[in-house]
Structure 1
Amino acid sequence: MNARRTAAAAALVLGAAEVGLIVFTATRSFPRGLIAVGLLICAGVAGWKALLHRGPTRLAFGVGGAVLLVGFFVALAVGGIMFEAIIAFVLFVLAAAAARAAFRIRVPLPAAPRPERPVVVWNPKSGGGKALSAHLDDEARARNIEPIELRPGDDLVELVRNAVANGADALAAAGGDGTQALVATIAAEFDLPFACIPAGTRNHFALDLGVDRNDVVGALDALVAGGERRVDLAEVNGRVFVNNVSLGLYAEAVQRSGYRDAKIRTLLETIPEYSTEDAAEPMLEFTGPGGVQGRRATVIMVSNNSYRLGTVIGSGTRPSIDDGEL
């Protein structure tokens, strides 16, 4: 608790110092500081417009945004406030890091019974080979956990069900969030302990569980000597998910063949199809709570419990995944 209080105090002090520096610099260098801010805002708007278009229009906005961004740095240099801008940015980064440490939640968990025949299903290709790099199969055997490798053509559900039929009394999944959902579904069906091994690309489920996403091997320890926590699984059209399901722009991009190898490029190619008045793809319509009609939605997302949105610290994460809410 003392460490969290220290981090919170540091975040407040650093944030106040940043605000004070910005106000002091803007007052001392008026109107040059205001011009620099205006150029930065215009560069951001141009960049956003570039995302929403394609072809020559995207190129024009992209070049314009780059020119404005260069102008922003020139304004800082000419105005003699480059040093102050760098210090303000450093203070922001430090304040954000301190705030993240202050809000990190560590919940004491009751000890779970040690399983006798734990099994981990692992995908060697997931996360760019993260499980392979961590020698997950050897580390699992060292902990008396049976590793089952998911090979091309294998049926994941069949593998896990066979493991349960052969006596597995605890399950773990080392792979992406789709793999996590399938294995967690079977664990819930048979009321077995489940451990999330962060061997995927983003590991969003692991993040919201409080698992260290950089410690693949450490997560194995949780399967055999960890605490127990019950969390929610959500379902749509008979399929269980651990994070969210979406319709529209993101769902379309993910399904495209080039997404895994070029995520950003695929998203950039998909955005104009859903985000302009003459979009080629139909916009989404929906009926929300209370019968409210929604039209021309770009994305519809249903999440397993609520996400934090619009905050610098913790945005895109779930404070809780056991509230029973969609």
Structure 2
Amino acid sequence: MVGRDGARNADRGDAVSTPAGPTGRQRVAAAVALLAALAAIVTAVVVGIIRFPEGLGVLGCVAIALVAAWFGVVRRGWQRITGLTVAVLALAATALLLIRNDGWPYLLVIVAGIAIWHAAGRVAFRVHVHRPAAPRPDRPVLFVNPRSGGGKATQVGLAAEAANRGMRTVELHPGDDLEELVRTAVAQGADGLAMAGGDGSQAIVAAVAAQHGLPYACIPAGTRNHFALDLGVDRNDVVGALDAFVDGGEQLVDLGEVNGRVFVNNVSMGLYAEAVQSAGYRNAKVRTLLGTAPAVLGPSGSELDLRWRGPDGLAHRSAAVILVSNNQYRLGGSIGSGTRPRIDDGMLGIAVVPAREAGSGSGPGRWTHWSAPVFEVDSDHPVPLGIDGEAVVLAPPIRFGIRPQVLRVRLAPHHPGASPSAMQPEGPGQGLLALAGIAAGRSPAARGRAEQRAEPVGSEDTEGVG
């Protein structure tokens, strides 16, 4: 294929999705964060000694505030808000303990230390990969789904912004065949393809771009934009993402395939796939998923006929959930959970929750997840799947593969250019070591091909998975 050959002959140095090393600003920020945390801890220890035993309460509150503020550094969304809220409450308790004993000097040092620890830590772990500008396409075409993401593309005037950048826009209408429209545009001379829509639409355009060796841009006009997140596109900057075809850099990434169909994120089978098939899923995802759970996982539920082999080669005849992804997600309670540190590793990510043991009446087992270039699931019946969140039923066997570094992704120069978890460590202890490494000029290693792990089901933070 033209796309595959062209991608493999490209400069693989631009394909790495993690920064080569921290910037000077990140090194300074890491050093400042460590010094600020040390100042807060030393001050709290001094208070604990000179005002014993009441000072032990101050020491405990400071410890809680430091951990909670760190949680605010490496988490997103409601988890970050929760961490910062706990940190503020812990500092408020510290203030109550110190103010009544004229402990203002100590309080100021502690509050400043924790605030700087949080702010500097965020700067130190902020991802931004700089790539040289790639040649600008002469006839790029942008495909827009105006209904995706609640009409996000229309709200920001995306078509007009694209025209200002020399891009032709093709707007989708009900009943349109997106793949046919994309192939027609290529036949008419398009030399760059961009998609503003959900991840299912992104997969269609990306597949054609990879086949023809054309540059591709992901415009985050969908609802969740998981592919954009892991590529390093700023999901809050829909218009700015168009600059990928102005002065953007290029990155080679992988595509997953299932029975010949391309996917950019993941394919699910079992509990999640059964929920996707439900008519109410689109309007009430969580409620539908929970409503499906008893039928699949409960004591009276039937096991799903999904036959597969684990990383040890042993055969299994059922599973509660199987998730196969285009590169591996971080699962479990680790930092960056639910995102992929990279999408150019050339491996599928496979995560399985085994079904309950027959006759045990117990719930599902533990996550087992590993990487492999191929994976197969068999069954005696047609298998419901969720492919990038869209309901599909395929005839078995279900064969998965990876197309390594076939997609030439263009990324706007002011966007991160890598996944949020590309630089983040796995846990708080490793976080301190990572900060020390950044201060010394070493970039934290993002996990690529992770070892097989088992995690309790229900403990996962899978914000980006789905």
The CA deviation at 1:15 is 7.5
C-alpha distance in structure 1 between counterparts of 2:258 and 2:187, whole Å: 27
Amino acid aligned to 2:310? G
C-alpha distance in structure 2 between counterparts of 1:254 and 1:92, whole Å: 44
- What are the superposed Cα offsets for residues 217-258 of structure 1, whole Å, 9 maximum, x if unpaired? 111111232111111111111111111111111122222221
Partner of 1:290: 312
Q: TM-score, normalised by structure 1?
A: 0.73
CA contact (8 A) 1:198 1:216 kept: yes
Is 1:184 aligned to 2:214, yes or no?
A: no
Q: 1:98 to 1:315 in 2, by over 3 A?
A: farther
CA contact (8 A) 1:100 1:314 kept: no
C-alpha distance in structure 2 between counterparts of 1:94 and 1:255, whole Å: 48
Q: Supply the RMSD in Å over aligned alpha carbons.
A: 3.8
Q: 1:275 to 1:150 in 2, by over 3 A?
A: same
CA contact (8 A) 1:171 1:193 kept: yes
CA contact (8 A) 1:120 1:148 kept: yes
Give the structure with the higher percent strand: 2
The structure 1 residue matched to 2:342, chosen from 309, 320, 324, is 320
Amino acid aligned to 1:200? G
Q: 1:229 to 1:270 in 2, by over 3 A?
A: same
CA contact (8 A) 2:304 2:319 kept: no
The structure 2 residue matched to 1:272, chosen from 270, 294, 311, is 294
Give the structure with the higher percent helix: 1
Partner of 1:204: 226
Partner of 1:73: none
- What are the superposed Cα offsets for residues 51-109 of structure 1, whole Å, 9 maximum, x if unpaired? xxxxxxxxxxxxxxxxxxxxxxxxxxxxx98954999xxx9999777655433332222
Amino acid aligned to 2:249? G
CA contact (8 A) 2:133 2:250 kept: yes
Instruction: Report the 3-state secondary structure (helix = DSSP H, G, I; strand = E; otherwise coil) of the residue aligned with 1:200.
Output: coil
Amino acid aligned to 1:179? S
C-alpha distance in structure 2 between counterparts of 1:300 and 1:105, whole Å: 30
Q: 1:93 to 1:279 in 2, by over 3 A?
A: farther
C-alpha distance in structure 2 between counterparts of 1:238 and 1:303, whole Å: 15
The CA deviation at 1:262 is 1.5
The CA deviation at 1:12 is 5.4
- What are the superposed Cα offsets for residues 183-241 of structure 1, whole Å, 9 maximum, x if unpaired? 00000111100000001111111111111000001111112321111111111111111
Instruction: Report the 3-state secondary structure (helix = DSSP H, G, I; strand = E; otherwise coil) of the residue aligned with 2:267.
Output: strand
For structure 1, which runs of at least 5 residues remain unmatched after alignment? 34-79
Partner of 2:268: 246
Is 1:224 aligned to 2:246, yes or no?
A: yes
Instruction: Report the 3-state secondary structure (helix = DSSP H, G, I; strand = E; otherwise coil) of the residue aligned with 1:231.
Output: strand
Q: 1:174 to 1:96 in 2, by over 3 A?
A: farther
For structure 2, which runs of at least 5 residues remain unmatched after alignment? 1-22, 62-88, 97-112, 349-466
Q: 1:81 to 1:303 in 2, by over 3 A?
A: closer
Instruction: Report the 3-state secondary structure (helix = DSSP H, G, I; strand = E; otherwise coil) of the residue aligned with 1:114.
Output: coil
